[in-house]
A and B are shown apart, each in its own frame.
Chain A
Amino acid sequence: MKKAKLFFSTVFMLIAVALSAQNVRVEGTVKDASNGEGVPFASVVVKGTTNGVSSDADGNYTISAPANGTLEISAVGYTTQDVAIAGKSVINVVLEPNFEALAETIVVAFGSTTKEAFTGSAAVVRSDDLQKRATTNVTNALVGSVPGLQIKGASGAPGAGSGNINIRGLASVQASMDPLIIVDGAPYPASLTNIPQNDIESVTVLKDAASAALYGARGAAGVILVTTKRGRSADAQVNFDARVGVNSRAVVDHDVITDPAQFYEAYYALLYNYHYYGQGETIEAANAAANSEMLTHLGYNVYTVPDGQLLIGTNGKINPNATLGRSYKFNGETYYMQPDNWRDLAYKNAVRQEYNVSINGGTNRSSFYASMGYLNEDGIIEYSGYQRLSARVRADYQVKNWLKVGANVGFVNSAQKSNPNMGTDLGSTNLMYYTTFIAPIYPVYVRVLDNAGNPVIRTDEFGHEQYDYGVAATNYGVGRGFMQTGNPFGSNRYNVAQSNGKQLNGTFTVDIDITPHLHANVSTTVNWGSTLTTKYDNPFYGPKVGVNGELYKSSSTSVRTNNIQTLTYANTFNRHYINVMLGHEYYKTTTNSQGITAQGGFSPEILEVNAFANVLYSGTSSSSSMYNVEGYFLSAQYDFDKRFYLSASYRRDASSRFATNHRWGNFWSVGGAWIISKESFMAGASWVDQLKLKASIGQQGNDAITNYAYIDTYSLSKSSDTDMTPSFNTIGNENITWETTTNSNIGLEFSFWRGRVAGSLDAYYKKTANLLFWISIPESAGSRGYYGNIGDIANKGLELSLTVVPVRTRNVEWTIAGNISTNKAVILKLPESKMGKNGGYYESTYWWTPGGEMRNYMNYEYAGVNDQGEALYWYDEDLSSLGNAATTITNQPGKKHSGTTTHIGEATRYALGSMLPKFFGGISTTLRIWDFDLSASFDYQIGGRILDNTYAKLMTPATSGSDGGYNYSTDIFKAWSPTNTGSTIPRWQFGDTDAAAGSSRWLTNASYINFQSFSVGYNVPVRRLGIDKHISRIRIYAVGENLGYISARKGFDPRSSMSSTATVNTYSPVRNISGGIQVTF
């Protein structure tokens, strides 16, 4: 309640400020000459000032202006008109559509340009589009809407960072492939979760050299420019947006066994088959042995079976006399064992709420934008959530007619509460791991029988419910087969894992007009970020009982500064326009981290080290690091008659990641565009609004490897209480320098029939040379390799995007937009030392060979089953010990399919082809009917294969007792057996180590279609209701994210990775459906 009060007082304070402006009131409607409809969001500005407003969805506007002034009315796609006010209080304007001059502005490196003049390839997502999304991290809104961009592995954990972003294929092999993210002109390595999407004016994705080369250094993988909002209207506007929704689990599970009886039968079958078929025992002996070993392996028997009877009969079915739930005496107490549904207990629906208030306004000398936002997102897992409070002020002021200053300051305070151990590691507290793999026989809680004989959850001396950690000595008296000593529910409940982030970002700019044609700009950005992490293991249950709780605190502070100075000369000579910019940029980041671990807590309520008894040396750390880059650049734009455009740039960069004499690199680009539609020979084709041909080529760099790769490093460890010793760590290579990408692009942009069909087609070829390559060496070196600049790769592809407007009438408009991209990543050259005589090399499950494709999966090739039901794998006689090789060779791919073997140790790895998708893209549609609008967007991928590791694990028969307790896919019931010899799934027999080996068997078609988002909205007709004097706009809407996907196998999510699904389910993207209201005063 207090929060609401705070919000409303803020709103009213802002309104009070807005009303204090004084001027004559003019109102009217802006209409489209072609169809008489209102033009929404047309800009109405008092000429010669920055005083302006936007029309509403119906084209209505109201502005305060001097009675003797002139209004300038403009809108994208229309010819601008000037109208003298001359004392009138109502001015209706009819704008002529002008499809020839799509003067849309695009934010580019160190400035902005018009879409027409732009020679590069970029995609823009604007605030209107973002409005239809409910993302906490704005990059999630790019999926499917930017051709050539792929995001994999985005997490659904509240407040999580971006997934892996790839722009136009795989930019590198070992260096980072993440694009450079620039926020308001400065590099921004922090999480974009820190910036509320309501504060974002536009996101521009720069894909080719002409657009990104000015970020020469580090622009090779593409650049994402985020621009925050600035003040635009003269009449102050207050905008309030509130949305509340529900997060729910979007991931689909594999088909697994859910019935405890069925699980026991499945596990029994494994052992029975081993004894009966494998060891040749009698049915009775095998039945007895399998029953006994099953309970030894699984630990828990949750069925009550009459004395002297076995749980599973010789028919392989559960004893009909068995009843679920079992009580027994242990350590003087009567325990009761029953299974719990771990999934149901783990996931819930959660509330997401987001509120934003912003005000923007201006005078003829200044503009102002301020906002405040609050987000509270609860996780779909108990004890996870994210809260963010953000504020931003952006203002500029024309001090003199030649001097303008600006400031943009944002602050964000966030708190992320997460579950302990939510990564993809197999830790004993990873809830995802448990819900994915635990057999449906295990309890979450320890239960006992109460006096009345009813099972109840046991409580301990503190009154806490007791979770079952599976440890014999302290829980049920038997060891749990699955991950003893862990219970993520208990960990989540009593442990703490949270981080608090604070970030202050300030940008200050000075613009000086030295002469009318010579302009200087100085921009300084300082970004201070701090993260405080608290982890606490409780003293009640689990491994920290003995030490009375353990606390880990860490803090990391980074300061990043970016300084840019530019000098620009721009002038027009007749029909020639030139613009030359000279600039310098320096970026520096320093990070300091400290951490401390302490044991023996006074109370779980006080999580600070001073309330703990014993500080651990191994858990105490402090370190710092620094990274800086510097660049000088020159760029030039030229156009002739707005028909021919040329651009060129040059940049020279230094990075501290390279040795002093190897750190400078040179980068450049040239580009051109020809507006064919402006040529006289096109005059007859009036249906052509615009036709533009463009081409560019240039070079960019990449230094995204670890620091200090140019010099040998040692890791320090303690040798005594008074000294440290250096152990060899990594080999350095003094010669490493920039990896360079030569990026060429040719494209066509078109718009026909007044925008009814519009789109673009781009073809590109990107060659990355001097790859920062991890050169593997024999590990007998005491090191596994080092970095060198060896090797070339290339990415080539096509991108098509098309927008069609099948219906456009006064009241109904329907738009369909789609894009499709294809990319092929090939290897051109590789280090000789790594290939040796093999003509290529095997690394990280890929076969690397010059001329081959990237991500060419290399592994054993599954060949079905033999007449014993054993899994078969192909071998090449030249590489296998079964053939001509002394020992099996695994570092080169097989060529021949000479025969099959049941032993992986004799099988051959084959290069099985690229895992990358053939096509990917998105489809979206928007429909507006009167005041209602509806939109939906989908993204898809066609082709490609990735490994379904989760399925592989669920299909792996236990090979030793320690595998007992893992759940299985229901597909195991289709396994080969003497009565089901047609199956290609190997026999279901305990101990078959090669039955489910890593092989082509787990490669799964990665095609999918994903319903990414929808929005439904209703714009209340404020004018018709007669409330427009108070409120200029009310919109009521619903939005949804991550609604569902279809893939090759239930439970298989190809969106998670380009290579394999995680063995552990990550906190996969959650589904969100929210309703909201947006009010503008």
Chain B
Amino acid sequence: MAHSQAASIGAHSATSHGAGGDEHAQNPNLQHHFYSMAQQLEASTLGMWVFLVTEIMFFGGMFMAYILYRHLYPAAWQLGSHHLNVSLGATNTIVLICSSLTMALAVRSAQVSSRKGQIWFLILTIVFGSAFLVVKYFEYAEKFEHHLVPGPTFNMPTEEYPNGIIAPDQEANHQQLFFSLYFMLTGVHAAHMVVGIVLMLVILAMAIRGRFSASYYTPVEISGLYWHFVDIVWIFLFPLLYLLGAHLGAHGG
């Protein structure tokens, strides 16, 4: 670090702040308090990585709760998981992985100054992200119908299930814990997806106006980091929530 800064001593030590070094005049995207585009990109990228670390800690609290209760109530966790729709979950997993691919391609397009590439790949990413949320909506609706939403309606009797969808010997109260974590984890994740999509819309608008090219693509890159992170959280959530009860038969036996 000292090296690269020492090397630029000559470049900017004798100048006043207003005119900046050569780079300020060359690139209007260089903010006044940075002395080079390289420094600005490095700082922005480090900033996003630090933010993602905070997100890991944020989800981490819920993962801790999950780990504790799964350890205490392993049977209830499998039974609860069995109620989730593995096909929809798997579909969403594939959707998100595809969206990460298109996101990476959008960043690449910006790096090689391809405006068309940026726009198309960003649009695809937004489409995939929205598809994820639509599938989520259907999943949540299904849970709502089956009275698997924690709270006063949990495991309420229905015509099909006069004792509630969870039989008396299947630890309904512990399954309610499972579903509390399910809704909390996927709900917070979905909120992050919404933020991600809004972010992508903003980046798309900027891309359409031609803001990004090889000389300046920082916002695309750091938004991409955020998007990939949200994808990776889902990669953890899917097996932990959906795949525990996959081996169980129709009646949870």
- Do A and B come together as binding partners? no
What is A's interface to B at a CB cutoff of 8 Å?
Answer: none
